[in-house]
Amino acid sequence: MRLEQLATGREFRAPTNLIQMGNGVALVTEQSGLIWTINLADPSGSEAAGFLDLTGRVSSRRSEEGLLGLALDPADEGLMYVYYSAERPRRSVVSRFALAPDGSWADLDSELVILEVEQPYANHNGGQIAFGPDGYLYVGLGDCGTAGDPLGSGQDTSTLLGSILRIDVSRAAPDEPYAIPPDNPFAQGGGRGEIWAYGLRNPWRFSFDRETGELWTGDVGQNRWEEIDLIVRGGNYGWNVLEGNHCFGVRDGCDPTGTVLPVWEYSLDGQPCSVIGGYVYRGSSIPWLRGVYVYGDFCSGEVFGLRYAEGTVVEHGRLADTDLRIMSFAEDNDGELYLLSQKSGIFRLTE
């Protein structure tokens, strides 16, 4: 597998998302709060054009803060959702913006705040948002930050932190920005109704398999283990009792009863440091890769793939060894995959 750099006419600084709109046009977010358009259909590349400037509302002073998530509304092509960090007080914000009639820019004054979550610390913000095949908006939140989950957020279903949320924004309005789907696991009590799954440390990137609808995430570990999870309704993914498959912070063992164990884990011995969740490849340009979940590591620059069948990983291997700081992966409307690097631009995965 090779990486082909896109000629975009701009040196993107810490790109966090790439989402295709239509006719080859894609939106690219930068961590600082800028959103640009590029033309994926032009093989020679094209100049990036400004789409929305949120730098006046986004706090990106710390390395894990900033404009982190982007999603287009599948039911209304004139609406887009973003996830960003803000301060005074420090918080994560999910907002909706209206697009211009021709889709070439977004209206800064149209912001409707959907959700705000206080962040005690500046890291472990999660940041991914995506619409599921059910039409609901999913939101990833980390455990609140610093080390070891000092507030116990991962196992506390009375907080939204350390969770993947599932909310209904189909009738979003200022007086009721979202509703709780009635089949959410805690919709009738026992925890926050917005929670879909919990016990996560920092689900930086998650994605839906466009063929099966399965929800995959890379959950960033503490000091020893990074993990890949398949997210299920009401699942408890173990943090901070477990880090990967292993007891965290105790010598005499722990009780993993009731937790959902990772599909895959890898050790932090050596250069790796943070798993970057990706996508199950469903494109056509790399036939042998179809059905493989592609992910990477921020520090090592390695890109991996795993094939999952009948409840187990049947194949795993390294697909590419790069010197890139991998920020995120992206998928276009044809199921082809892209890699977003912190300082080196955007790359298309090719055979």
Q: What is the pLDDT of residue 43?
A: 61
Ramachandran quadrant class, 24 (left: phi over 0; alpha: psi -120 to 50; beta: rest):
left
Across the beta sheet with 337-341, the strand order is: 2-5, 345-350, 337-341, 326-331
- Tell me: the pLDDT tens digits for 3-17? 999 988 889 999 999
Give the whole-angstrom CA distance, residue 170 versus residue 135.
Answer: 8
- pLDDT tens digits along 65-74: 999 999 999 9
Closest Cα to residue 225, out of 162, 279, 272? 272
pLDDT digits (tens, 9 = 90+) for 246-295: 999 887 889 999 999 999 999 988 676 899 999 999 999 999 999 999 99
pLDDT, tens digit, for every residue of 13-58? 999 999 999 888 999 999 999 999 999 987 667 789 999 999 999 9
pLDDT of residue 9: 84
Q: pLDDT by residue (tens digit) across 79-110?
A: 999 999 999 999 999 999 999 999 999 999 99
pLDDT in tens, 108-153: 999 999 999 999 999 999 999 999 999 999 999 999 888 999 999 9
Separation of alpha carbons 237 and 231, rounded Å? 8
Tens of pLDDT, residues 173-213: 999 999 999 999 999 999 999 999 999 999 999 999 999 99
What are the strands, taking DSSP E only, across 142-240? Answer: 163-167, 195-198, 205-208, 215-219, 225-231
Residue boundaries of the structural domains of the chain:
2-257
CATH number of 2-257: 2.120.10.30
Mean pLDDT over 303-326 rounds to 97
Torsion of CA 251, 253, 256, 262, to 10 degrees: 60
pLDDT tens-digit series, residues 14-25:
999 999 998 889
